[in-house]
Homo-oligomer: A and B are copies of this chain.
Amino acid sequence: MNTENNVKTLIVKKPLKLDCGKTINEFPIAYETYGSLNEKKDNAILVFHALTGDQFVTGQNPITKKDGWWSYAVGPDKAIDTKKYFVICANVMGGCMGSFGPSHEDPNTGTAFGTNFPVITINDMVNAQYNLLDHFGIDKLFSIAGGSMGGMQVLQFISNFPDKAKTVIPIACTSSHSAQNIAFNELGRQAITADSNWKDGDYSSKNTIPNKGLAVARMAAHITYLSKKGLQEKFGRKLQEREDLKFGFDADFQIESYLRYQGSVFVDRFDANSYLYITRAMDYFDLAKQFKGNLSDAFRATKAKFFIISFTSDWLYPTQENKDIVIALNSIGANVGFVEIESDKGHDSFLLNVPDFLSALKNFLDKSYTEN
């Protein structure tokens, strides 16, 4: 898709050494902002998006024309109140909404990088985004927040830049991808690379698109975002516009139709190679490993105030994995709050209208801001 006209882009001209060993000398970071930076520049919140998110947090996404992914949480008078705070969000490196990614042109070949793009990590992502602080002249962020992969970036950011945020809000995340997490991501990657239109990642120069594989990957992931109970309550065995089973392979059940729809709309807004790269970054994420197995050491240098949020029905990053972060923080006497929100909406709860979550988020931010 053509993203050029609607995307603010910072061209970073400072070399960045990636975890894979390669150095990139110049790269674009596409971003969006909401609200106004105050004079003291102490009201900025850097929001990190999840696997399939982008920089368009709230309001209408100018590319997809749909609501931003965190419209329930971010906006005037909302939990992250844009009348009060200056919200910044960047498209992650590896993404497909303007930041440096596999669909960009490789200067060596004149065609898209495809799988010649370097494998990037959560660490690379936050190091790239750190440049936005200099860009806006922000010495210290009021907060950093994000759910799912956004939460991983939050954890990595405060570990890398311990004095650059006053408050830290990792939501529905983990400090390292479990075997089951990796398995689901690998399933998605296999679905994409199995598509004969994938062409070893070189589909753009071959004028094909591996949409079928990408749709299957999305369907697989989507199931993991919803709870078994939530699915049962919403769909159960309800039939799709028919009186009875049709004894065929069309979508008899609403859940089938819903999944197919999720797959089909996703491919209009997402790039298959980006899906490969970003899931890889998630699978590689293991914050404790960066500190010889001691997760507490990742946070030892920061005085930031943490607020960790999990959801009862999230089986992708269950409460226990969020609690493990709390435990690591408690063991070094860090300033940490934790809440498990009751919700049937599974991992997706952080994106949805879950009032207890939104009020907890708002209260924490507004109270912390008053103490500013």
Contact = CB atoms under 8 A, between A and B. Distances in A.
Interface of A: 19-21, 115, 118-119, 176-180, 182-184, 186-187, 189-191, 193-197, 212-213, 215-216, 219-220, 223, 226, 228, 231-232, 234-237, 245, 247-249, 251-253, 255-256, 259-260, 263, 276, 280, 283-284, 286, 289, 315, 318
Contacts of A223: 180, 183-184, 187
Contacts of A237: 176-179, 182, 286, 289
A184 B256 CA distance: 10
Nearest to A255: B179
What 9 A-B pairs have minimum CB-CB distances, sorted nearest first? A194-B212, A20-B247, A179-B231, A119-B247, A179-B235, A180-B228, A179-B255, A186-B256, A196-B196
A106 to B, nearest CB: 17
Contacts of A196: 195-197
A247 B19 contact: yes
Given A190-B260, A231-B178, A276-B249, A183 B216 contact: no
A183 B115 contact: no
B176 A231 contact: no
Given A176-B237, A237-B179, A248 B119 contact: yes
Nearest to A318: B228
B219 A190 contact: yes
A197 B226 CA distance: 31
A-side binding surface: helix, strand, loop or mixed?
A: helix
A190 B263 contact: yes
Given A232-B180, A247-B118, A253 B315 contact: no
Contacts of A248: 119
A38 B67 CA distance: 70
Contact of A178 (B213, B232, B276): B232
Contact of A194 (B183, B187, B216): B216
Nearest to A236: B179
A359 B219 CA distance: 40
B186 A259 contact: yes
Given A118-B247, A183-B223, A194-B194, 15 more contacts: A119-B247, A119-B248, A177-B237, A178-B228, A178-B232, A179-B232, A179-B236, A183-B219, A183-B255, A190-B215, A190-B216, A193-B249, A194-B212, A237-B289, A315-B315
A145 to B, nearest CB: 26
Nearest to A263: B190
11 contacts: A119-B249, A177-B237, A180-B223, A180-B232, A182-B255, A191-B191, A191-B216, A228-B315, A237-B286, A237-B289, A249-B276
